[in-house]
Amino acid sequence: MTSQTLIPQTTPSVAEDAFQPAVFDQHVMATYSRFPIAMERGEGTRLWDSEGKEYLDFVAGIATCTLGHCHPAMVAAASAQIRKLQHVSNLYYIPEQGALAQWLTDHSCADRVFFCNSGAEANEGAIKLARKYGHTELGIEAPIVITATSSFHGRTLATVTATGQPKYQKNFNPLMPGFYYVPYNNIDALRMAIEELDADKRQVAAVLLEPMQGEGGVCPGNPVYFKQVRQLCDELGILLILDEVQVGMGRTGNLWGYQTVGVEPDVFTSAKGLGGGIPIGAILTKQHCDVLRPGEHGSTFGGNPFVCGVSMSVCQTLEQDDVLANVRSRGKQLRKGLRAIAQKHSNLCEGVRGWGLINGLVLKPDTGVVALDIVKAALSEGLLVIPAGAQVVRLIPPLIVSDVDVAEALVLIDRALVAVSK
Ligand code: PLP
């Protein structure tokens, strides 16, 4: 048998039953409320379900499929890498990991990268880094990381504690010690919190913020606030950590959200769009806070040849195809159209907010219509969108979305609003 005959030409078959929601639910834990459809195939900004219905995808796997579905560059990189080498562990040097880290440090303010598998894992590692920095560089016994209310940082115990939304924490007590919450975009609240926490002895080691709160309702960070936070962190010698998991990798129209709010963090995290749909996360740090040493942090899969090879194809395509220019112009087109829709449906809509290709249609409270109603109506019309809380319909298409796609999405959103108004 030659090695060629061992390579199947199609993906492994999935039992027919797996596509029946009832059978699926018998075997998979009920941690998600799923829409009763199963996606079978994708191409660009389009998805097709198991019934053959076509959807225009303005969810992109929750801000993850940077280049849409089955982009030729990703297909080529994934095919080439899986035929060459998929995994070896971090016991050995991994050239693909080094190349990706170099691309990331060449294209950001960071000096070093640690690779892991998800956004939560990246934030978890950044929190560990902040705690060690607190211990070894600031002499703090029990370091505190300050985060914002309405933030979202992940589902592990530390990151769900960092997440300033009680709804995600309910039933998971005891939460992790070492976190404190302040309102977002409010410098006085942050100053007061640090004064209080540090009054008797030094405790605060870091401030962890999203450049824009995505899950918290598509709330952009205020550049003035971020500059003041940066200044305060510099005065105190504490770390500014930015969670770029949702808005990094081009989504705001800049490669990194920190460029959009106009500050450089000491540490930032990335995941989602970094892999374009393959599981990868990263902690990116400046040299002065690169404090984790052998044995202190790790990940079996982190930075393996396969994910790094594919992620590199996403990074290179972003650059070669000037995808960021597309993000900026399609974002403008989308916001202009959404504003007109918000005006037309002013009985339901309050307005529009966002940057680049992360935008929210904000609903008025107490109209009897919530974001999920519009998401469901849009789904029937063949458009995938996602709520960000009860009052915001979030539109986060692949960054390669075309003007024709945006125009079509606007027609479908309008139809969905008409449908829920009836
Ligand atoms: N941080 C932010 C800002 C996010 O939006 C998310 C996910 O939505 C996470 C962290 C968690 O990422 P993951 O689901 O990959 O663990």
273 within ligand 1 shell (Cβ under 6 A): no
388 within ligand 1 shell (Cβ under 6 A): no
Domain shared by 16 and 31, yes or no: yes
> Token digits for 102?
């170099």
64 within ligand 1 shell (Cβ under 6 A): no
Domain shared by 156 and 40, yes or no: no
Of 166, 169, 139, 124, nearest to 297 by C-alpha is 124
Of 282, 297, 320, the residue at which a domain comes to its end is 320
Give the CATH number, domain containing residue 265: 3.40.640.10
Domain shared by 167 and 304, yes or no: yes
Report if residue 71 sits inside a domain.
no
Domain shared by 208 and 348, yes or no: no
Kindly report the protein residue whose alpha carbon is nearest to atom 14 of ligand 1. Answer: 119
Of 297, 251, 275, nearest to 400 by C-alpha is 251
317 within ligand 1 shell (Cβ under 6 A): no
C-alpha to C-alpha distance for 388 and 168, rounded to whole angstroms: 14
C-alpha to C-alpha distance for 207 and 226, rounded to whole angstroms: 11
Domain shared by 127 and 212, yes or no: yes
268 within ligand 1 shell (Cβ under 6 A): no
* Element holding 83 (H helix, E strand): helix 72-84
Q: What is the pLDDT along the chain (422 residues), one digit of tens a residue?
A: 444 445 455 555 565 555 789 999 999 999 999 999 999 999 999 999 999 999 999 999 999 999 999 999 999 999 999 999 999 999 999 999 999 999 999 999 999 999 999 999 999 999 999 999 999 999 999 999 999 999 999 999 999 999 999 999 999 999 999 999 999 999 999 999 999 999 999 999 999 999 999 999 999 999 999 999 999 999 999 999 999 999 999 999 999 999 999 999 999 999 999 999 999 999 999 999 999 999 999 999 999 999 999 999 999 999 999 999 999 999 999 999 999 999 999 999 999 999 999 999 999 999 999 999 999 999 999 999 999 999 999 999 999 999 999 999 999 999 999 999 98
What is the three-class DSSP state of 366? coil
Report if residue 294 sits inside a domain.
yes
Kindly report the protein residue whose alpha carbon is nearest to atom 5 of ligand 1. Answer: 246
Of 381, 401, 283, nearest to 332 by C-alpha is 401
Kindly write down the DSSP assignment for every residue of 44-66, as one continuous string.
BTEEEETT--EEEESSHHHHT-T
Report if residue 286 sits inside a domain.
yes
Q: What is the 3-state secondary structure (H, E, C) of 136-161?
A: HHHCCCCCEEEEEECCCCCCCHHHHH
Report if residue 70 sits inside a domain.
no
358 within ligand 1 shell (Cβ under 6 A): no
211 within ligand 1 shell (Cβ under 6 A): no
392 within ligand 1 shell (Cβ under 6 A): no
Domain shared by 219 and 305, yes or no: yes
For residues 352 and 336, the answer to whether their CB atoms sit within 8 Å is: no
> Token digits for 232?
């305060």
Give the CA dihedral 203, 170, 268, 234, nearest 10 degrees.
-30
With vertex at residue 338, the alpha carbon angle to CA 337 and CA 343, rounded to the nearest 5 degrees, is 100
292 within ligand 1 shell (Cβ under 6 A): no
118 within ligand 1 shell (Cβ under 6 A): yes
Report if residue 69 sits inside a domain.
no
- Cα distances (angstroms) measured from residue 146 to each of 34, 57, 127, 135: 33, 35, 10, 16
Q: How many CB atoms lie within 10 A of CB 403?
A: 12
Phi-psi category of residue 178: left, alpha or beta, with phi > 0 → left and psi -120 to 50 → alpha:
left
> Token digits for 70?
């089955």
Kindly report the protein residue whose alpha carbon is nearest to atom 1 of ligand 1. Answer: 153
123 within ligand 1 shell (Cβ under 6 A): yes
Domain shared by 288 and 164, yes or no: yes
* Element holding 269 (H helix, E strand): strand 267-270
Domain shared by 304 and 342, yes or no: no
What's the residue count for the chain? 422
Report if residue 138 sits inside a domain.
yes
Beta bridge partners of 147: 181
Domain shared by 237 and 119, yes or no: yes
Distance in Å from the first CA to the final CA of the chain: 64
**160: containing domain:** 76-320
Q: Ligand 1 atom closest to Cα of 62?
A: 8
Domain shared by 258 and 384, yes or no: no
C-alpha to C-alpha distance for 202 and 71, rounded to whole angstroms: 50
Of 337, 375, 368, 369, nearest to 354 by C-alpha is 337
Q: Ligand 1 atom closest to Cα of 159?
A: 10
Domain shared by 250 and 338, yes or no: no
With vertex at residue 190, the alpha carbon angle to CA 187 and CA 195, rounded to the nearest 5 degrees, is 125
Beta bridge partners of 239: 206
Measured in Å, residue 318 CA sits from the centre of ligand 1 at 21
Of 45, 46, 44, 47, nearest to 71 by C-alpha is 44
Preceding amide of 397 cis, omega within 30 = no
124 within ligand 1 shell (Cβ under 6 A): no
Measured in Å, residue 119 CA sits from the centre of ligand 1 at 5
120 within ligand 1 shell (Cβ under 6 A): yes
Measured in Å, residue 122 CA sits from the centre of ligand 1 at 9
For residues 120 and 159, the answer to whether their CB atoms sit within 8 Å is: yes
State pTM to two decimals.
Answer: 0.96
Beta bridge partners of 386: 394
Q: Ligand 1 atom closest to Cα of 151?
A: 3
Of 291, 320, 349, the residue at which a domain comes to its end is 320
Task: Give the total number of structural domains in the chain.
Answer: 2
126 within ligand 1 shell (Cβ under 6 A): no
Measured in Å, residue 283 CA sits from the centre of ligand 1 at 13
Report if residue 97 sits inside a domain.
yes
Measured in Å, residue 246 CA sits from the centre of ligand 1 at 6
Of 290, 320, 350, the residue at which a domain comes to its end is 320
42 within ligand 1 shell (Cβ under 6 A): no
Report if residue 393 sits inside a domain.
yes
- Cα distances (angstroms) measured from residue 242 to each of 246, 285, 296, 350: 11, 10, 22, 29
Domain shared by 38 and 98, yes or no: no
Which pLDDT score is estimated for 19?
76
Mutual orientation of helices 305-320 and 95-106 as an angle, nearest 10°?
A: 30
Q: Ligand 1 atom closest to Cα of 279?
A: 15
